[in-house]
């Protein structure tokens, strides 16, 4: 006769959950962080707020192609280990993060503006005036 054991999947999930360390980053990191973005629209254009904590404004790039906005940023690892010191754990993310999204209308790149303050990138993206259809008269 075989012995049957009843198992609760939640017990297996939580067993050791609070005991073992959670791994992050390239030193055990399995996923890169996501860039959180808020997009608002008004009659004149779009307002975009993107969270980029710990980034420097020189390392952030914004590309506009019609209605498509692409934001990318890269944080380089700073190796500053002093003599007699050893790193026990590194959880901070170093590497590239990017995000692209399409808006409902083309952006006027010439009037677009960007500011970076306290880890938040603020984009002001005015809508491009729609081209008026022109009727040609036949001569």
Question: What mean pLDDT is predicted for residues 55-81?
Answer: 88
pLDDT, tens digit, for every residue of 108-132?
A: 999 999 999 999 999 999 998 877 7
pLDDT, tens digit, for every residue of 82-106?
A: 778 887 777 777 788 899 999 999 9
Pure H helices in the chain: 9-14
pLDDT, tens digit, for every residue of 23-54?
A: 333 444 445 567 899 999 999 999 999 999 88
* Beta partners for residue 42, in sequence order: none
Query: Measuring CA to CA, which residue among 113, 99, 100, 116 is closest to residue 54?
Result: 116
Each domain of the chain, given as residue ranges in start order, spans 33-78+93-128
Do 76 and 55 meet the contact criterion of CB atoms below 8 Å apart?
A: no
Mean pLDDT of the chain: 79
The predicted model scores a pTM of 0.65
Out of 3.40.50.12500, 2.60.40.790, 3.40.630.10, 3.90.79.10, select the CATH number for domain 33-78+93-128: 2.60.40.790
Res 138 pLDDT > 80: yes
Question: What mean pLDDT is predicted for residues 49-67?
Answer: 93
Q: Strands 113-117, 37-41: parallel, antiparallel or unpaired by DSSP?
A: unpaired
**What is the per-residue pLDDT for 32?**
57
Do 123 and 108 meet the contact criterion of CB atoms below 8 Å apart?
A: no
> Bigger pLDDT: 55 or 4?
55
HEC string of 61-87 equals EEEEECCEEEEEEEECCCCCCCCCCCC
Query: pLDDT-based confidence at 12, cuts 50/70/90?
Result: low
């Amino acid at each position: 006769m075989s012995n049957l054991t009843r198992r609760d999947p939640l017990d297996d999930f939580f067993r050791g959950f609070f005991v073992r360390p959670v791994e992050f980053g390239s030193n055990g990191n399995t996923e890169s962080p996501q860039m959180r973005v808020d997009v608002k629209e008004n009659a004149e254009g779009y307002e975009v707020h993107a969270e980029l904590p710990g980034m420097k404004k020189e390392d952030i790039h914004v590309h506009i192609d019609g209605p498509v906005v692409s934001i990318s940023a890269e944080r380089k690892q700073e190796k500053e280990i002093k003599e007699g010191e050893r790193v026990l754990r590194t959880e901070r993310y170093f590497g590239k993060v990017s995000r692209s999204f399409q808006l409902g209308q083309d952006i006027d790149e010439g009037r677009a503006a960007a500011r970076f303050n306290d880890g938040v990138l603020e984009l002001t993206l005015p809508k491009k005036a729609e081209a008026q259809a022109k009727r040609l008269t036949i001569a």
